[in-house]
């Protein structure tokens, strides 16, 4: 919908912009020549590239110049002979030369930012100068919205877009890797393992127990599969629907926002083959916190004993080589009743070293566990795709193989992913097609959870790395892995799983969307699509008698065999009608959808394999204690939706929609719910009265809507009985016990939200600003309400309370410099979200909090939910520091000693009581999220980008320093600092600190704000003449670094991943288009 | 062309018909689990819940932090090694011992029983006897665990029905009200439970035994004698001759046989009233982590702090012989000299020469028997020398004799891993205890000769010197239960129960008004347990042994009190938070 030209065009008189456009054109020319995208023309130079017309007689060579309204030459304008693939581009001055067939030809002149022109040349013409008029709407891209597309300028809601070009230079395993920090209002953290991935959240936490991950729509249909199954190389764009109105058409699943992913499709013309490959190396960031080194371990052991309160003098544990001042060796020896003749052995004995540790100390061959556990992880990726088509069919087919190692020894992920998108135009009233995706994932060695302690992970145990001494041996003398490398069963070899477990975890999945679209009379189209998804997971594990699983060694081996099959289908019936009547335009969409999901899981285990366990999980029947378990699930849902878009004078845009959803997981009292939405947008810059030198575009948006969240598991409304296996001495028996309370009244969560936004384009579209504010309230919150444990239950799932999220989002993108040599673009996004619990259980009374008596709604102390506070508030003791030696007497009042944590005692009654003394001390989610991307094209063939990211203002629990220390006389810990009488830390307590007096427990929190250089990249496109010489359409090499540098005070591994190591990744790659 | 134009409409209509099914489409279908609605439809459904309750009895003595271990750790016989200062026991502290959180587990068992009790009349029973028998067993389990709860924690909410939906308005009932309710429930159970049951299932005898304890707690001593009579005159008999798995081993004796896990549920053993079943040969999910007796009750003789040789090398190691049979003592329950030595002294008898089989050399592993077991040590094979320890002054606390006749449960031949105490059956109730309970009832009734007779029945079976009526005191009775029922009877619960009886009767200067400041439990534990007597001589993890009178019962977990936002669950006096208490309810509706 083209904007009518206004009589005068003040914005066009800006000289600077004109200048800029010139260079924009120049740069476009280059990028188009080298682009991997399908080119709709062939290049004129050289020779044997014009097979089509060489068979015909050549009539003439046409020359000319393309200029803008001011008469300045436009470089890079595409000129195409209509109906052929003949064409060329203008040069830097706007001149062109094109040989055209010997007949009346129609030339199409097109250039981004300008209105295209079609000009017919007669057979004798040799000269043609053309002037193009700028089109301010041309940069207005088409974005995907639910069940359709819309021009960005026509949007009434809040939608953000990410183009594939943003991440083309990175090694991306799954698309969430790209999203972290990139979009205002979209919170995501990078995944740390070989399969990538991240948790995601749009506009804050809007649920306490249901999932807050956005829903995924893939090529227009709801996608319930794994994001890992989508190859990022197939993706063209991602559009993120943030406000209620845009998402409301997805009703019951859209409360957490929607991500619409669009994959590549074939374009008309001859096939384009694209090949790309990437290689990379990942390393762990910050391994200094991993394990104590030899000296650190000796000091740690000494300092532990010294501050434990034992009867020996403090110097007893000092090295005889480094005795404190005034202590003689004789004194030191005399502190023991029968000292070993050898001082070193005596000292190590005092430090309680195990024989292995003593041997290793004497030999000096210590182990750096971080070196054993981490590695330089290699990554490789190969992708090939073919796209093309003609008037009746278009196709795109891709095949990719990715093979990643993770930074932890053994962590590995590989995937084969293939996609086929085919669209047929069967008749003029019938289109049909299929988008299909097949993935084979090998996750045999993937760390499936960040905790890393699952029995089934074939990965090093971080816990083992922390606890095992550096004075240790990884292998026994016979070459087998040592179970307890320093001789203590509490310090299990962190590599035991890697070395001793055999695992195969393979997932095969197929997802397809098969559609037919019929053009009906009266401008109505009807689309029917059917989406089957099937998935088969096989997870097999075997532990030989030489290894340990779950604390046990099974003399005949132990094996588990899990198989899950999932099968679901979804049907969408979509009717669309659009019509323009004078100044009114209508766009109506109606939907009927239904779906069903089923899964079947079987788990077998066995042990004690005989006559031999060599068959492992392939021979389950040879064991002597078989067990089996089955777990089948099914759920179903349906939905109806109607939406009307109405535009008046192309200035006033209205959207109204209504959706009704049904879902089987909810209590039978409330299986259905209705979700309405409405939105309005006003294109102020279209008004006649609007005059502005600088502002090209200005639009105001307002939207309101309700969304639901159904994601609580299919059987939450039921009281479930868990099975209990029992053996009465003769027979196995099965018992049951109630594991959850029922709630037949369970219903949907509803999020009602209001969004106001502004879109602005300034200075000849050189600066684009989008700002949004929103206020969303979720009601009927699904809550695991804490129950007193005298009920026998922890909690019950109920719908109670209300939660509010308010926030502000700002995105500014600009072209800072655009000249002959350099183009520099920036994109800054900023967001903040403020979350508040508005209501909980509706039960009022008197309660104590922060030492004061309050009247009002009673908090849930167990879950730490308080009215008026955010869900992520940290409610704990306000740590003032560490009790110092001089304060011993005061500390004793709390039954504490120097070196223990000193917290504020609000009522100063000499006791730490949760309700009296705990305070609100911070927030665990970032208060501000900032992302700042800069892209620079320079020296014609180079482009570089830098992406900075900051999450600010939050804290995170740092439990290490208050964990149990009863075995510190035998093992090690992660390398965190601690208090000693000499090293008087006020940040960390002594090693053997006492936390028992802190009522309700105590958790220290540490600042975890960070700024990081998350991505930098550099790419070089081969100059066109070289590419052509090599018979490529284009070729590009690139390199990038992820997580190059991080600035933070967080004492743990990484401020983003918390207590888990984060990788730094170097990638180089090559992309060739044929 | 006409058909072509209609075709799309036909397609659309057909599809719409296809998908617009009835409401049935949205009906949820549980597929792999039962719900109460489809489970409690017949006798088998109710029985399946009873099976769970029987299995849960193994929580008493399986796994490292088991309930029974805490009972003995809080007594004259031992200290909780890793938390020997009871002042560190707060309503939220469970760092190394689980005096606080075990309440959560026990209330789950109450919940399971209540599910059956509340739903018992959901169906029409063809046979009233079936109904009453199932109800009786559910009541038995609820009463058993409430008896333990009241002993651990005193006043508590009595949860009488299955909880439906969010309930947060619990109030505390006094222990007296709860015990009255238990009495009523157990009278019903004793009437309806069968005399003969499968191994691990409570019988009429188990009901009368439990009822005896409840009558005692309620100061109804005549009724206690009566219910004990029903057990003693029932199908049970003390074992006096060799039997079972080791019967052929002439070095052993009947006391040894009595405590082999393999012998507890065999027909030959007529002394068992109830013993839980827990077998290594069961599937992993159907068995527990093991009895953990060698982990929990044995000293850490293998530990490098204690086990060094004269060259400060390792004299003791955690592998090979000795380790496989004494196991990897932690200990969680460090046994005191009182338990190892003092209670065996009687006139001229000492632990060394006592005829009492319960302290027979073959039944105990004395610390003098320890020999360095590290082949690499210069002292390999030589007797353990306390002088070599890092802290020789702590020898008395760190190295103590082990009552292996009860605790010895080595790994099975096909069981690898640390020797901690493998799976096995364990007594819940044994006839010897019934005798001692009846003796206690006689004591309160002043029938000291009858009491002496019952005590002697138990003593004579163990070949111990009989006593006379003048020897019968409350202290002697508790010495005897320590000798006979170590790791079987819930020690702290029984001491707590008697503390209340004495206070209620205002005997020996005790009264209910100040029971948390002065009570029998504390006076016995603090004066007999060597750890408290020699508190300054041992320090573990920064703590010296310390116990206060109010520790005669344990604190109520903070989260329970705080999450009960619409009512008031009281904290026990002496612990932080008890200032907010309101008077407990004295009746159960």
* Residue of B10, B26, B96 best to disrupt the A interface, most CBs of A under 10 A: B26
- Cβ contact, residue pair B33, A720, below 8 Å: yes
Residues B91 and B104: beta-carbon distance below 8 Å: no
Give the least confident one: A64-68, A684-688, A754-758, B19-23.
B19-23
**Three-class DSSP category at A642:** strand
**pLDDT (tens digit, 9 = 90+) per residue, B96-132?**
789 999 999 999 999 999 999 999 999 999 999 999 9
Residue of A nearest to B561 (CA): A788
Nearest residue, CB atoms, A727 vs list B111, B279, B564: B279
CA atoms within 13 A on the CB side of A509: 25
Least confident of A179-188, B238-247, B282-291, B457-466: A179-188
Nearest to A207 by CA among A873, A750, A957: A750
A520 and chain B in contact, CB less than 8 A: yes
Burial class from Cβ neighbours inside 10 Å (0-12, 13-18, 19+) for residue A551 reads: exposed
DSSP B94-141: -SS--TTTHHHHHHHHHHHHHHHHHHTTSS--S-HHHHHHHHHHHHHH
Residue of chain A whose alpha carbon sits nearest to that of B543: A309
What residues contact residue B7 under an 8 Å CB cut-off, 6+ apart? none
A784 touches chain B (CB under 8 A): no
Mean pLDDT, residues A99-104: 72
pLDDT at B9: 59
Which two three-digit tokens encode residue B116?
A: 């059956």
CB contact, 8 Å: A550 with chain B? no
Contact call for A843 and B107, based on CB within 8 A:
no
Mean pLDDT of A60-86: 77
Residue B429 has pLDDT above 90, yes or no: yes
> A269: which residues sit within 8 A by CB, 6+ positions away?
A38, A40, A85, A388, A389
Cross-chain residue pair A791–B163, CB shorter than 8 Å: yes
Residue A190, φ and ψ in degrees, nearest 5:
-65, 140
> Treating both helix axes as pointing N-terminal to C-terminal, what angle do B221-232 and B204-217 enclose, rounded to 10 degrees?
160
Q: Please judge whether A726 and B36 are an interchain contact, meaning their C-beta atoms are less than 8 angstroms apart.
A: no
Q: Is the pLDDT confidence value at B418 over 90?
A: no
CA nearest to A703, candidates A660, A748, A657, A749: A657
Where residue A564 falls (left for φ over 0; alpha for ψ -120 to 50; beta otherwise) is beta
CB atoms within 10 A of CB B454: 28
Among the ranges given (A566-575, A1019-1028, A1032-1041, B573-582), the one the predictor scored with the smallest mean pLDDT: A1019-1028
| Cα–Cα distance, B554 to B572 (Å, whole number) | 7
CA distance to B141, B149, B229, B437, per residue, from B224 (Å): 20, 20, 8, 8
The model's pLDDT over A789-834, given as tens digits with 9 standing for 90+, comes to: 999 998 888 887 888 999 999 999 998 888 878 889 999 999 999 9
For residues A649 and A637, give the distance between their C-alpha atoms in angstroms, rounded to a whole number: 40
Integer Rg of chain A from CA: 33
> Three-state SS for A375?
coil
Residue B106 Cα, gap to closest chain A Cα (Å): 8
SS3 A523: helix
Residue B465 gets which letter from DSSP?
A: P
- Contact in structure between A793 and B162 (CB atoms under 8 Å): no
Per-residue pLDDT, A128: 84
Residue A382 pLDDT > 60, yes or no?
Answer: yes
Cβ-defined contact of B166 to A796 (cutoff 8 Å): yes
User: The tokens of B506 are what?
Assistant: 């205002």
Chain A contact set for B272 (CB, 8 A): none
Number of alpha helices (DSSP H) and beta strands (DSSP E) in chain B? 22, 4
Residue spans of alpha helices (H) in A426-512 = 462-467, 496-500
Residue with tokens 């007796």: B293
Can you give the length of chain B in residues?
Answer: 589
Q: Which of B12, B304, B387 sits opposite A338 (nearest CB)?
A: B387
Cβ atoms of residues B348 and B358 within 8 Å: no
Considering only CB atoms, which chain B residues are within 8 Å of A637?
Answer: 26
Q: In this predicted model, what pLDDT tens digit does every residue of A645-677 receive, in sequence order?
A: 898 888 898 989 999 988 888 777 778 888 898
Beta strand A130-131 pairing with A58-67: parallel
Residue A49 neighbours by CB under 8 Å, 6+ apart: A42, A43
Structure confidence by residue, pLDDT tens digits, B540-572: 887 899 999 999 999 999 889 988 988 999 999
d(CA B367, CA A108): 102
In contact, A377 and A194? CB cutoff 8 Å:
yes
- Tell me which residue of A504, A514, A375 sits closest to A440, measured CA to CA: A504
- The angle subtended at Cα A810 by Cα A806 and Cα A813, nearest 5°, is 165
In a mutational test of the A interface, the residue from B16, B39, B52, B578 whose CB has the highest number of chain A CBs within 10 Å is B52
Radius of gyration of chain B (CA): 27
B564 vs A520, A625, A788: nearest CB? A788
pTM (whole model) above 0.90: no
Mean pLDDT of chain A: 84
Beta-bridge mates of residue A1019: A943, A1038
**What distance in Å separates the CA atoms of residue A333 and residue A310, rounded to the nearest whole number?**
17
CA A750 to each of CA A258, A495, A785, B360: distance values in angstroms, whole numbers, following the listed order: 16, 47, 18, 72
Q: What is the C-alpha to C-alpha distance for residues A621 and A614, in angstroms, rounded to an integer?
A: 13
Q: What pLDDT is recorded for position A44? A: 39
Partner-chain contact A845 B283, CB within 8 Å: no
Mean local confidence (pLDDT), A322-333: 91
Give tens-digit pLDDT for B443-469.
Answer: 999 999 999 999 999 999 999 999 999
Q: Is the Cβ–Cβ distance between B403 and B364 less than 8 Å?
A: yes
Secondary element (H or E) of residue A661: strand A652-663
A1011 touches chain B (CB under 8 A): no
Mean pLDDT of B41-55: 95
- What is the distance, to the nearest Å, from the Cα of residue A430 to the centroid of all Cα atoms in its chain? 39
Cβ separation B32–A631 shorter than 8 A: yes
Nearest to A554 among B26, B416, B569 (CB): B416
Instruction: Tell me how crowded residue A165 is: count the other CB atoms within 10 A of its CB.
Output: 16
A144-166 pLDDT tens trace: 777 877 777 777 777 788 887 77
Which residues touch B580 (CB under 8 Å, ≥6 apart)? B568, B571
Which has the closest alpha carbon to A193: A468, A436, A413, A479?
A: A413
Q: Check residue A36 and give its pLDDT.
A: 32
Cα separation, A902 vs A881, in Å, equals 5
* Nearest beta carbon to residue B11 from set A518, A724, A915: A518
**How would DSSP label each residue in A719-776?**
-PEEEEEEE-SSSEEEEEEE-S---TT---EEEEEEEEEEEEEETTTTEEEEEEEEEE
Chain A residues with CB under 8 Å of B5 CB are 521
Q: List, in order, residues 6 or more apart from B517 with CB less than 8 Å away.
A: B549, B550
Digit-coded pLDDT (tens) for B56-105: 999 999 999 999 999 999 999 999 998 999 988 888 766 678 999 999 99
Query: What is the enclosing helix (H) or strand (E) of A201?
Result: strand A200-202
- Which candidate, B220, B234, B227, places its Cα nearest to that of B176? B220
Q: What mean pLDDT do residues A58-79 have?
A: 76
Residue A140: what pLDDT?
59
Instruction: Return the number of CB contacts < 8 Å for A and B.
Output: 323
* Rounded-to-5 percentages of helix, strand, coil across chain B: 50, 5, 45
Q: Which residue has the tokens 């409330």?
A: A670
Residue A811's CB: how many other CB atoms inside 10 A? 20
Taking contacts as CB-CB distances below 8 angstroms, the residues of chain A near B328 are: 489
Integer CA distances (angstroms), A802 to A748, A749, A1059, in order: 13, 10, 32
Cβ neighbours, 10 Å, residue A58: 12
Of B48, B287, B560, which has the smallest distance from its Cβ to A790's Cβ? B560
Q: Which positions in chain B touch A639 (Cβ < 8 Å)? A: none
Q: Which residues of B touch A571 (CB under 8 A)?
A: 15, 18-19
H or E segment to which residue B294 belongs: helix B293-296
Question: Smallest Cβ distance to A729: which of B15, B277, B328?
Answer: B277
Residue of B nearest to A624 (CA): B283
pLDDT value for A141 = 67
Give yes or no for A638 touching B (CB within 8 A). yes
A454 pLDDT band, cuts 50/70/90, is very low
* pLDDT tens digits along A575-617: 999 888 888 988 899 999 999 999 999 999 998 898 988 899 9
Q: How far apart are CA A932 and CA A942, in angstroms?
A: 20
The pLDDT value recorded for residue B329 is 95
* Yes or no, beta carbons of B576 and A999 under 8 Å apart: yes
Q: Is A929 strand, coil or helix?
A: strand
Q: Does A860 contact B at CB distance below 8 Å? A: yes
């Amino acid at each position: 919908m083209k904007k009518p030209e206004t009589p005068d065009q003040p914005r066009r008189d800006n000289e600077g912009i004109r200048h800029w456009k010139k260079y924009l054109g120049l740069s476009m020319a280059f990028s188009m020549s080298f682009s991997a995208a399908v080119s709709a023309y062939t290049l004129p130079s050289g020779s044997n590239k014009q097979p089509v017309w060489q068979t015909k007689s050549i009539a003439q060579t046409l020359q000319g110049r393309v200029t803008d309204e001011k008469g300045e030459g436009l470089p890079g304008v595409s000129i195409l002979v209509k109906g052929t693939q003949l064409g060329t581009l203008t040069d830097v001055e706007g001149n062109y030369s094109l040989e055209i067939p010997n007949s009346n030809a129609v030339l199409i002149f097109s250039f981004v930012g300008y209105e295209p022109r079609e000009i017919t040349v007669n057979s004798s013409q040799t000269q043609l100068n053309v002037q193009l008029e700028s089109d301010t709407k041309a940069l207005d891209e088409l974005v995907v919205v639910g069940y359709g597309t819309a021009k960005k300028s026509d949007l009434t809601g809040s939608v953000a877009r990410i183009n594939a070009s943003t991440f083309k230079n990175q090694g991306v395993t799954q698309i969430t890797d790209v999203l972290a920090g990139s979009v205002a209002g979209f919170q995501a953290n990078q995944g740390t393992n070989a399969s990538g991935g991240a948790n995601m959240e749009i506009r804050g936490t809007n649920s306490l127990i249901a999932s807050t991950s956005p829903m995924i729509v893939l090529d227009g249909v709801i996608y319930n599969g794994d994001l890992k199954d989508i190859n990022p190389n197939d993706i063209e764009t991602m559009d993120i629907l943030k406000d209620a109105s845009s998402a409301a058409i997805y009703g019951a699943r859209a409360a957490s926002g929607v991500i619409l992913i669009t994959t590549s499709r074939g374009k008309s013309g001859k096939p384009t083959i694209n090949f790309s490959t990437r290689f990379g190396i990942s390393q762990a960031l910050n391994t200094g916190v991993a394990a104590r080194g030899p000296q650190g371990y000796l000091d740690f052991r000494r300092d532990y004993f010294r501050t434990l309160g034992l009867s020996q003098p403090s110097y007893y544990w000092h090295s005889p080589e480094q005795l404190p001042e005034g202590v003689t060796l004789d004194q030191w020896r005399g502190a023991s009743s029968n000292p070993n003749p050898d001082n070193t052995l005596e000292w190590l004995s005092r430090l309680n070293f195990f024989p292995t540790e003593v041997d290793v100390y004497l030999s000096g061959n210590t182990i750096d566990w971080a070196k054993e556990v981490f590695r330089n992880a290699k990554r490789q990726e190969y992708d090939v795709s073919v796209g093309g088509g003609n008037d009746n069919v278009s196709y795109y087919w891709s095949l990719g193989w990715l093979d990643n190692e993770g930074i932890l020894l053994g962590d590995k992920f590989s995937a084969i992913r293939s996609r086929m998108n085919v669209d047929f135009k069967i008749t003029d009233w019938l289109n049909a097609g299929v988008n299909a995706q097949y993935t084979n994932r090998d996750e045999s060695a993937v760390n499936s959870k960040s905790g890393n302690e699952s029995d089934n992970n074939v990965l090093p145990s971080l816990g083992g790395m922390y606890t095992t001494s550096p004075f240790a041996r990884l292998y026994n003398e016979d070459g087998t892995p040592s179970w307890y490398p320093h001789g203590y069963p509490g310090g299990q070899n962190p590599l035991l799983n890697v070395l001793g477990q055999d695992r195969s975890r393979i997932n095969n999945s197929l997802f397809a969307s098969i559609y037919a679209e019929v053009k009906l009379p009266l401008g109505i189209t009807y689309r029917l699509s059917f989406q089957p998804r099937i998935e088969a997971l096989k997870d097999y594990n075997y532990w030989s008698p030489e290894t340990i699983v779950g604390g046990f060694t099974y003399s005949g081996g132990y094996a588990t065999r899990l198989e899950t099959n999932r099968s679901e289908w979804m049907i969408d019936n979509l009717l669309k009608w659009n019509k323009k009547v004078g100044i009114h335009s209508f766009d109506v969409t109606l939907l009927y959808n239904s779906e069903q999901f089923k899964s079947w899981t079987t788990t077998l285990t066995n042990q004690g394999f005989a006559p031999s366990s060599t068959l492992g999980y392939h021979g389950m029947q040879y064991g002597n204690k078989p067990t089996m378990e089955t777990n089948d699930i099914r759920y179903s849902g349906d939905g109806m939706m109607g939406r009307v878009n109405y535009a008046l004078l192309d200035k006033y845009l209205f959207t109204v929609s209504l959706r009704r959803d049904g879902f089987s997981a909810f209590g039978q009292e409330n299986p259905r719910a209705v979700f309405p939405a409405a939105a309005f947008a006003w294109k102020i810059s279209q008004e006649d009265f609007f005059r502005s030198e600088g502002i090209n575009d200005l639009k105001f948006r307002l939207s309101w809507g309700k969304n639901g969240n159904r994601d609580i598991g299919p059987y939450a409304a039921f009281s479930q009985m868990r099975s209990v296996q029992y053996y009465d001495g003769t027979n196995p028996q099965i018992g049951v016990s109630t594991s959850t309370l029922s709630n037949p009244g369970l219903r949907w969560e509803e999020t009602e939200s209001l969004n106001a936004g502004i879109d602005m384009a300034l200075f000849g579209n050189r600066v684009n600003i989008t700002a949004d504010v929103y206020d969303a309230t979720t009601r009927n919150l699904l809550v695991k309400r804490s129950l007193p444990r005298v009920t026998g239950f922890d909690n019950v799932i109920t719908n109670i309370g209300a939660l509010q999220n308010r926030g502000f989002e700002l995105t500014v993108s600009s072209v800072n410099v655009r000249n002959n040599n350099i183009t520099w673009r920036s994109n800054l996004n900023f967001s903040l979200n403020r979350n508040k619990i508005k209501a909980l259980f509706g039960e009022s009374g008197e309660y104590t909090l922060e030492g004061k008596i309050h009247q009002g709604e009673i908090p849930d102390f167990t879950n730490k939910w308080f009215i008026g506070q955010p869900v992520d508030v940290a409610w704990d003791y306000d740590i003032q520091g560490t009790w110092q030696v001089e304060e011993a007497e005061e500390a004793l009042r709390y039954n504490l000693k120097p070196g223990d944590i000193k917290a504020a005692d609000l009522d100063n009654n000499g006791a730490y009581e949760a309700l009296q003394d705990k305070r609100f001390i911070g927030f665990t989610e970032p208060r501000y999220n900032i992302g700042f991307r800069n892209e620079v094209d320079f020296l014609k063939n180079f482009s570089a980008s830098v992406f900075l990211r900051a999450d600010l203002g939050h804290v995170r629990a740092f439990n290490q320093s208050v964990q149990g220390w009863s075995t510190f006389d035998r093992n090690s810990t992660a390398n965190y600092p601690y208090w000693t009488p000499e090293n008087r830390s006020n940040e960390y307590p002594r090693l053997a600190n006492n936390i028992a007096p802190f009522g309700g427990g105590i958790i220290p929190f540490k600042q975890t704000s960070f700024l990081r250089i998350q991505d930098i990249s550099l790419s070089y496109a081969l100059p066109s003449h070289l590419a052509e010489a090599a018979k490529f359409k284009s070729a590009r090499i690139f390199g990038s670094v992820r997580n190059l540098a991080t600035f933070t005070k967080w004492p743990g591994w990484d401020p983003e991943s918390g207590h888990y190591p984060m990788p730094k990744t170097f990638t180089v790659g090559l992309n060739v288009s044929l | 062309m006409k058909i072509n134009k209609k075709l799309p409409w036909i397609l659309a209509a057909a599809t719409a018909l296809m998908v617009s099914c009835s409401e049935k489409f949205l009906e949820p279908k549980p597929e792999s689990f039962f719900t109460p609605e489809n489970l409690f439809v017949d006798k088998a459904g109710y029985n399946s819940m009873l099976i769970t309750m029987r299995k849960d009895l193994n929580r008493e003595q399986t796994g490292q932090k088991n309930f029974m271990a805490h009972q003995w750790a809080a007594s004259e016989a031992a200290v909780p090694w890793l938390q020997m200062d009871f002042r560190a026991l707060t309503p939220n502290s469970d760092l190394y011992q689980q005096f606080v959180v075990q309440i959560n587990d026990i209330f789950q068992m109450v919940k399971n029983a209540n599910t059956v009790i509340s739903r018992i009349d959901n169906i029409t029973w063809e046979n009233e006897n079936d109904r009453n028998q199932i109800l009786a067993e559910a009541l038995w389990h609820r009463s058993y665990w409430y008896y333990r709860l009241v002993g651990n924690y005193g006043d508590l909410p009595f949860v009488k029905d299955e909880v439906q939906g969010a309930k947060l308005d619990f109030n505390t009932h006094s222990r007296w009200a709860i015990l009255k309710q238990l009495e009523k429930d157990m009278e019903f159970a004793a009437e309806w439970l069968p005399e003969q049951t499968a191994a691990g299932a409570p019988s009429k005898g188990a009901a009368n035994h439990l009822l005896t304890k409840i009558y005692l707690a309620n100061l109804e001593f005549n009724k206690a004698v009566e219910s004990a009579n029903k057990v003693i005159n029932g199908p049970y008999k003390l074992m006096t001759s060799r039997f079972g798995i080791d019967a052929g081993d002439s070095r052993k004796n009947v006391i040894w046989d009595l405590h082999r896990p393999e012998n507890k549920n065999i027909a030959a053993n007529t002394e068992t009233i109830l013993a839980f079943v827990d077998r290594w040969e069961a599937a992993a999910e159907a068995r527990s982590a093991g009895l953990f007796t060698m982990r929990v009750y044995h000293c850490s003789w293998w530990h490098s702090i204690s086990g060094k040789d004269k060259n400060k090398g390792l004299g003791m190691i955690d592998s090979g012989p000795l380790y496989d049979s004494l196991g990897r003592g932690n200990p969680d329950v460090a046994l005191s000299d009182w338990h190892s030595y003092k209670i065996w002294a009687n006139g001229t008898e000492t632990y060394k020469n006592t005829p009492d089989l319960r302290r027979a050399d073959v039944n105990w592993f004395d610390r003098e028997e320890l020999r360095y077991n590290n082949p690499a040590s210069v002292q390999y094979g030589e007797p353990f020398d306390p002088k070599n320890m890092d802290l020789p002054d702590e020898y008395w606390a760190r190295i103590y004799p082990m009552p292996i006749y009860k605790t010895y449960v080595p790994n099975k031949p096909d069981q690898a891993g640390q020797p901690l105490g493998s799976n096995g059956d364990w007594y819940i109730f044994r006839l010897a205890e019934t005798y001692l309970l009846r003796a206690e009832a006689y004591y309160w009734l002043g029938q000291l000769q009858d009491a002496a007779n019952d005590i002697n029945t138990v003593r004579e079976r163990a070949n111990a010197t009989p006593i006379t009526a003048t020897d019968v005191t409350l202290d002697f009775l508790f010495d005897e239960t320590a000798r006979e029922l170590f790791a079987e009877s819930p020690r702290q619960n029984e001491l707590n129960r008697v503390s209340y009886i004495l206070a209620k009767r205002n005997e020996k200067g005790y009264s209910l008004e100040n029971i948390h400041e002065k009570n029998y439990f504390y006076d016995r534990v603090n004066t007999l347990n060597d750890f408290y007597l020699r508190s300054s001589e041992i320090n573990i993890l920064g703590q010296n042994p310390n116990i206060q009178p109010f520790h005669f019962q344990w604190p109520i977990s903070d989260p329970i009190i705080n999450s009960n936002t619409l009512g008031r669950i009281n904290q026990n006096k002496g612990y932080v938070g008890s200032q907010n208490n309101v008077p407990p309810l004295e009746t159960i509706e």
